[in-house]
Amino acid sequence: MPQTPPLTGMFGSSGYNKNFFQTEEEEYGGLYYHDSNLASGSLEALIQHLVPTVAYYPDRTYIFTFLLSSRLFIHPYELMSKVCHLCMDHQRLSDPQADKVRVRKIAPKILQLLTEWTETFPYDFRDERVMRSLKELTHRLSTGDELYRKTAQQMTQALIRKLTALGQYEEALAKISSTVTDRLTVLKNKPQSIQRDVLTVCSDPFTLAQQLTHIELERLSYIGPEEFVQAFLQKDHLDNEKTCFSNHKKASNLEAYVEWFNRLSYLVASEICICMICGDPAKKKHRARVIEFFIDVARECFNIGNFNSLMAIISGMNMSPVSRLKKTWGKVKTAKFDILEHQMDPSSNFYNYRTALRGATQRSITAHSSREKIVIPFFSLFIKDIYFLNEGCANRLPNGHVNFEKFWELAKQVSEFMTWKKVECPFERDRKILQYLLTAPVFTDDGKQPCAHRGPASPSPARLQSSTYSR
């Protein structure tokens, strides 16, 4: 049977080859190939293709692609159950008299498949049903062989560490949200308590851009690849009556990251307009300096490759309370800001930004230092691109088969994201600045707590209404 292409062939920097499927179709056990590349198949045949045998192990790109997109049609716990059934029954692992030589040949391959699953999609195993099937299969494989027992134990321990880290991250987010809520309550009762602004915490735009990059990379690192599918999953396309993933968080880390973008945008607007909240006329002269400071921060974010913070800052500066400060903007040197806006211009489907992103990606591939490897995409646009790919994946072919060509396209985009999120931030952490960025009170233009914070909206002591400010 033809094999799926190697990793470099499928997800290389040159992009997905849209001319893959030009030759006559061939069928192998329910899987259809064009030019020796997997094009489509029934769900059952694709599951069978995932499971190793003594003579076969699936290509890594196939494993990633199928585990990513199969959840459009089958729950992870159902898929794990089917994989276990195929391993146990078809390979006769449940037979006490099974050929030990055969077991020794197949066990390492099954353990390798499970290892790839737990390493790449660990959040699937927050579902106790998935974890139960995993324990059952690894127990069967490790019975009577110390080497396999140790391998299974190491895999399980690594999985538990990842899930523990996720739990701690979620607790940290909840603590941050609680701190913000408390500070807003204090501010509501004592508006005069606003004494600091961003320049009193950090007056160096390079340092602030670096701390923003810390936050971005940390939040990116906790987003599971499956969230890009589950975020848009409405109903099972096999059964319109069955709602998928309704009983647990589908994409909470992805949502938290979007909320961070919203918070940063409102933080920028709040910092510029904060002097009106304080009622200190002397601070009006301070606005132009704050605007220029954020322009410099945004430019440094662009240089780093942090496009998400860059766009959040631009969004904040374009909010009505800020954009209508004509007298203030008249004192600002806007040439640098105009260049940044041009780079993020939405016309022609963000052509300028996409060109810059390709340049940053290429720099990352050939990088010799961690700083050069940083690529943080403008996340809302990335999500939009993924959404349309998901739409194509969810549509079956006329014969009822899964369109694996669309799976490949989605997997290429998500695998690129997986590379970006693994980059370690090379900059030194400044806890004071990070604390301020994450917990300083911010306000929306209607005077309420923005959607960047979970929970009910809280009234503010002042409203950032555009009518309040004149230039």
Tens digit of pLDDT for each residue in 204-246? 999 999 999 999 999 999 999 999 998 877 544 444 444 444 4
Q: What is the pLDDT of residue 15?
A: 38
- Count H helices and E strands in the chain, helices first: 20, 4
* DSSP helix/strand/coil, 58: coil
Tens digit of pLDDT for each residue in 147-158? 888 999 999 999
**What band does 10 get if pLDDT is binned at 50, 70 and 90?**
very low
Q: Residue 326's CB: how many other CB atoms inside 10 A?
A: 10
pTM of the model: 0.84
Tens digit of pLDDT for each residue in 277-292? 554 555 667 889 999 9
Strands 37-41 and 402-403: antiparallel
Q: What is the mean pLDDT of residues 384-399?
A: 88
Better pLDDT: 87 or 111: 111
Q: How far apart are CA 63 and CA 65, in angstroms?
A: 6
Q: Please state which of the ranges 16-30, 68-82, 120-134, 428-442 shows the lowest mean pLDDT.
A: 16-30
**What band does 129 get if pLDDT is binned at 50, 70 and 90?**
very high
At which residue do the structure tokens 């942090």 appear? Answer: 306
Tens digit of pLDDT for each residue in 239-280? 444 444 443 456 689 999 999 999 999 999 999 987 655 545
Alpha carbon separation from 285 to 199, 208, 281, 314, 317 (Å, rounded): 14, 22, 8, 21, 17
| Arithmetic mean of pLDDT over the chain | 82
Which residue segments constitute the domains of the chain, with CATH numbers given? 37-159 (1.20.870.10), 197-234+251-446 (1.10.840.10)
